[in-house]
Amino acid sequence: RPVPQVIGLLDVFTPDETLDDFTDFYLVMPFMGTDLGKLMKHEKLSEDRIQFLVYQMLKGLTHLLPGGPFADSEMTGYVVTRWYRAPEVILNWMRYTQTVDIWSAGCIMAEMITGKTLFKGSDHLDQLKEIMKVTGTPPADFVQRLQSADAKNYMKGLPELEKKDFASILTSASPLAVNLLEKMLVLDAERRVTAAEALTHPYFESLHDTEDEPKAQKYDESFDDMDRTLDEWKRVTYKEVLSFKPPLQLGTKVSKETAL
């Protein structure tokens, strides 16, 4: 069943004619006339508009898998992804949980409120420093849980920073917005609110519709954990691309809920 908050996939194809040649494939999605970044440049978003957009974002996240590892090379110009990366992604601390995208959503929500990027690091380590200026340095038990020895040593060598009150940074935000962001922008991914939990927050009280709350399907992670060679992954991907069947409702209009 299509999810209104997640962009549709109309077609998948490859111009490569054999498995040996297979290097590229294309995902065809509905055309979106604008995006949130452009919208925020053109207008100051009202509180109810922010509520609606963040609510839709979180509903979409309940249907998605945790964000995978980012490529090392930065995207340039249009999007600077580093500014929205969760701390565990920046230093590759541990396996990502479902809350990895909640961090990004929190950064976006804060930017919608203030009109400015919340954590604007100039490189990976500077990004982490910018984050910890607000969240404070994590406690020793959190550092012990880090799977990367390099990350552990780096964190142990940092000067201790006190956690800041989010209300002092987001001066124009309502108390409920601040309270939600305090739960979303938590350094420890295990203590970070999930999308489903965030949807029940009082900040969204006017939007709650229990009948329409998303009930995401349980995702079978065993597929991701399979130990395949690059050639094997290439083969199964090629097979998947060739077997893709476009949805029946190709000619139908895009749901109004996807419109900004």
How does DSSP assign 192-251, residue by residue? SPPHHHHHTSGGGGGG--GGGS--PPPP-THHHH----HHHHHHHHHHHHHH----TTTT
Domain 1-33+229-260 has CATH 3.40.50.620: no
Given a cut of 70, the residues of the chain with pLDDT beneath it are: 1-2, 65-80, 93-96, 209-225, 249-260
The confidence score (pLDDT) of residue 134 equals: 94
CATH number of this structure's domain 45-216, picked from the four choices 3.40.120.10, 3.90.1300.10, 3.40.50.10680, 1.10.510.10: 1.10.510.10
Strand partners, 29: none
Listed by start position, the domains of the chain span: 1-33+229-260, 45-216
Q: Tell me the per-residue pLDDT of 101-114, one tens digit each, with 9 for 90 and over.
A: 999 999 999 999 99
CA distance 44 to 42: 7
pTM of the model: 0.79
The label of the residue with tokens 């590759």 reads 92
Check: CB of residue 16 under 8 Å from CB of residue 22. Answer: yes
CA distance 236 to 223: 11
